[in-house]
Amino acid sequence: MVENQDQGPYYQINDTKNPDLLHERRSATFDIELLTQFMFGGPNSYFNINKRRQLTRLAYAHPIHKTHLPLEYLDADEFYALLIRKSFVAIKEAERLNITDRKFLGWFLSVFTNGRFIFGLHTSMFLHTLENMASDEQQEKFLPLARSFQIIGTYAQTELGHGSNVQRLETEAVFDSKTDTFVLNTPTLTATKFWPGALGRSTNYVLLMAQLYTPDRSHPCGLQMFFVQIRDLNTHEPLPGVEVGEISTRFAHEVGDNGYLRLTNVRIPRNQMLMKLAYVDEQGTFHRLGDPRLLYGAMLATRVNLCAFFSILLARAVTIAMRYSAVRRQGQNPDGKETLILDYPLQQEKLVPCLAATYAFFYSFIKLEHFRASILDGDTILFELLPELHAISSGLKAYTSTHGERWSQICRVACGGHGFLVASGIKGINNMLDAGCSYEGDNAVLYQQTARFLLKVIQQLDENTDTNPDSSIAFLYSNKVAPATVVNLDDYCRLFEARSELLLKSMSTRLSELSSSSSTPYSVFSKNSIELVHVAKAYVETFVLRAFYDGVRKASEHKELAVVFEQLFHVFAIDTLRNSAADFIRLKLLTPDQIYHLETYGLPDMYARLRPNLIALVDAFDFHDNELNSCLGRYDGQAYEALMERARLNPANRYKVHPVWTSIKQNAKSKL
């Protein structure tokens, strides 16, 4: 790859055209590029900002981006055709530019296709699963075809009737020893594969999760993964026995081409079951080979990455809302001057906690990713730490999507009506975060998994065990008492940890009391699930707060940054605390008056101190305008000009009189 590309920021302060926004940028008390490099820079950082800048510049330099209208103005067919075209061109360009590193390639493909790379599941889940579940022989055969995009696949698991509970999937693969094949069927309506991305019109293969029956129909062997061709590679027509199509349009085009799949007696050779962990021999005998926990690793890596994705989405939303709030004026003060909406306390109350939460999300992702890398590294897995990684990644995925959805909604509202336009960029973000609450594990289900882990930990707790002080559960083993007053940042962390510990312990006690009576553990867990989710959330909050705290401490080498980070930390901590005020009071960790003071005086005070840096703090996220795709959030601040220009591009405005009115008016005349 070309290494001498410009790695500097996309914009300089002189690119600002709106004078109010310029004023904001000049009032910053720290160097923005310093913060960006501190948080996201360096080759060891997941975000590797300099590399990202290079890739982004390369991607946007291509002339294809000038050839089409904004995507919201395309009709369904045009939209799909453009997506496919851009996706293929992106692949070619990446080859030409010799971008091979998997993460960089992923970035490039995503940026090039405006975040809509159609074969995203192919390059992630599909390839990854082949690499981990296919036997060496299978890998040799399939991987070259898949890597060169001759085979384009997706991952077909969820069915119309079943998502969360994989065990209940109904699609079946029955071994037929005569022909040495599996016969695949979706025997019921609810067995229809439903939702897989790119399945609707784009992929020619799927990795199909199905119930295996071998040596015959009466011997179920559980779920296995099969490599199934669904379309002809030359004509792209569906093969016999395959019904495939797109499902009812989703609101957000963002991922796209979600499909359904029905199979009727489709036969595949025996060697197209992925056989690294289990295999079926010629006689139809089923053998287990490997440790199925290997699969687990891939799922966890996906969840960890989602936390980064959700953090980035939220960072975009708050960038847009913050910049627009520094451009928009509304209402007037007694001197007859209009007020910048960012100066209203109610606007700050919406946006500053959201900004602080975004930084908290980033830091908790960084901490989580660090933890993941220490456990899952290629083929070596520290199995004893997997449950903790599972608990915290599930919890954080649920936390960042749920809260991200709500925060991005607040950003939408903060932009008033204009925030509701597709051209604001926020609606699309909100939709993606909303979808994120359900896919890759429903949030309520994930929180319960986190809670299960915590219960196990607390039930086996031995306070004399040596634990890694960096562990997310270290606080359960410590004897530190909670602070009576909140003075420094660590006090907040310890307050949240004390709350988490108390909630967990009382829950554990209650559950064991209840299960010693007549109820089964299942029903006890289910009956208390609302509170268990609460316990899980409280634990995730300790993790997020600690991660943020670590981040602030790291910044101590840069005084100008540390000050600002501390302020953001205060905002995040107080905002999170007040939302669970009843807990802290009931558990006697804080008094109602303490919380009232923190909320009513502490928070607005922090808003005021952060005020000069609010724009600088979103600029530091370093988004290219094309990534934001927002009239409201442009770097230059020309929000109104952009809105007007975008409106004029609307194809609806190409008619002087819309055809329906021409025909109505002509009919009216002919009736006379």
Partner 1 sequence: MDESSVAKPHYEINDTKNVHLLEERQSATFNVEKFTQFMFGQSDNYYEINARREIIRLALAHPIHQTHLPFEYLNADEYYSLVIRKSLLAIEEANRLKITNDKHRQWFLHIFSSGRFAFYIHAVMCTYAIETMSNEEQKRKFLPLVKSYRMTTAYTQTELGHGTDLRRLETEAIFDRETDSFIFNTPTLTSTKFWPGALARSANYALLMAHLYTPDRNHPCGNQMFLVQLRDLDTHELLPGVEAGAISTRFNDCAGDNGYLRLTNVRVPRTNMLMKAAEVDRDGNFHRCGDARVLYGAMVHMRIHLSYSFSVSLAQAITIAMRYSAVRFQGSNPQGNETRILDYPLQQEKLVPCLASAYAFLVTFLNLNNYFNDLKTNETMFFRQLPELHALASGLKAYTSSVGERLTQNCRVSCGGHGFLFASGIIGIRNFLDASSSAEGDTVVLYQQTARYILKMIQRVEEDSEKGVDASTTYLRAKLWSGKTMINLDDYCHLFESRAQLLAKEALAQMFESSLSPYATFLKNSIQLVQLAKAHVETYLMRSFLEQVNKAAHHLEFSVILEQLFYVFAIHTLRNESKDFIRLNLLTAEQIYELENRLLPDLYTRLRPNLVPLVDAFDFHDVELDSCLGRYDGQAYEALMERARLNPANQQKVPPVWKAIKQGTLSKL
Q: Which of residues 162-201 bind partner 1 (CB under 8 A)?
A: 162-165, 167-168, 189-190, 192, 194-195, 200-201
Please pick, from the candidates 23, 128, 161, 553, the single residue that binds partner 1 as defined by CB under 8 A: 161
Say if CB 293 and CB 380 are below 8 A apart. no
* Contact letters for partner 1, residues 548-587 (x by CB under 8 A): ------------------------------x--xx--xx-
Q: Of 631-670, which residues contact partner 1 (CB under 8 A)? A: 631, 640-641, 643-644, 646-648, 650-653, 655-662, 664-665, 669
Interface with partner 1, residue 264, by CB under 8 A: no
| Cα angle: 537, vertex 405, 163; to 5 degrees | 75
| Cα angle: 361, vertex 365, 368; to 5 degrees | 140
Interface with partner 1, residue 505, by CB under 8 A: no
Interface with partner 1, residue 67, by CB under 8 A: yes
Q: Which of 33, 440, 599, 641 is catalytic?
A: 440
For partner 1, the closer CB: 271 or 302: 302
Of 53, 544, 622, give the one whose Cα is nearest residue 316. 622
Q: Is there a binding annotation on residue 188? A: no
For partner 1, the closer CB: 165 or 465: 165
CB-side exposure of 289: number of CA atoms within 13 Å?
Answer: 14
C-beta neighbour count of 208 within 10 angstroms: 30
Q: Is there a binding annotation on residue 600? A: no
Stretch that binds partner 1, among 71-79, 221-229, 279-287, 554-562 (CB under 8 A): 71-79
For partner 1, the closer CB: 106 or 196: 196
In whole angstroms, what is the distance from residue 643 CA to residue 630 CA? 9
Stretch that binds partner 1, among 53-61, 175-183, 328-336, 550-558 (CB under 8 A): 328-336
Q: Of 447-466, which residues contact partner 1 (CB under 8 A)? A: 448
In whole angstroms, what is the distance from residue 322 CA to residue 630 CA? 12
Of 122, 120, 262, 253, give the one whose Cα is nearest residue 194. 262
For partner 1, the closer CB: 251 or 383: 251
For partner 1, the closer CB: 502 or 562: 502
Of 160, 151, 161, give the one whose Cα is nearest residue 198. 151
Please pick, from the candidates 19, 222, 245, 269, the single residue that binds partner 1 as defined by CB under 8 A: 245
Report in angstroms how near the CB of residue 236 gets to partner 1 at its nearest. 4
Please pick, from the candidates 3, 462, 463, 593, the single residue that binds partner 1 as defined by CB under 8 A: 593
* Structure token digits, residue 656: 């002087």
Residue 529, helix vs strand vs coil: helix
Interface with partner 1, residue 60, by CB under 8 A: no
* Contact letters for partner 1, residues 396-435 (x by CB under 8 A): ---------x---x--xx--xx-xxxxx---x---x--xx
For partner 1, the closer CB: 23 or 578: 578
Cα dihedral sign, 517-519-521-527: negative
Known catalytic residue: 440?
yes
* Contact letters for partner 1, residues 528-547 (x by CB under 8 A): -xxx-x--------------
In whole angstroms, what is the distance from residue 190 CA to residue 197 CA? 18
Interface with partner 1, residue 592, by CB under 8 A: yes
Q: List CB contacts of 615: < 8 A, sequence separation 6 or more.
A: 21, 24, 25, 28, 322, 323, 326
Residue 243, helix vs strand vs coil: strand
Cβ-based burial of 248 (10 A; exposed 0-12, middle 13-18, buried ≥19): exposed
Owner of token pair 């440790």: 291
Report in angstroms how near the CB of residue 312 gets to partner 1 at its nearest. 20
Please pick, from the candidates 42, 70, 241, 387, the single residue that binds partner 1 as defined by CB under 8 A: 70
In whole angstroms, what is the distance from residue 191 CA to residue 624 CA? 43
Q: Concatenated DSSP letters for 185-211?
A: E--SGGGSEE--TTTTTT-SEEEEEEE
Of 615, 617, 600, 496, give the one whose Cα is nearest residue 566. 617
Q: Of 222-241, which residues contact partner 1 (CB under 8 A)? A: 234-238
Please pick, from the candidates 150, 179, 332, 512, the single residue that binds partner 1 as defined by CB under 8 A: 332
Question: Which residues are annotated as part of the binding site for FAD?
Answer: 158, 197
Q: Known catalytic residues?
A: 440
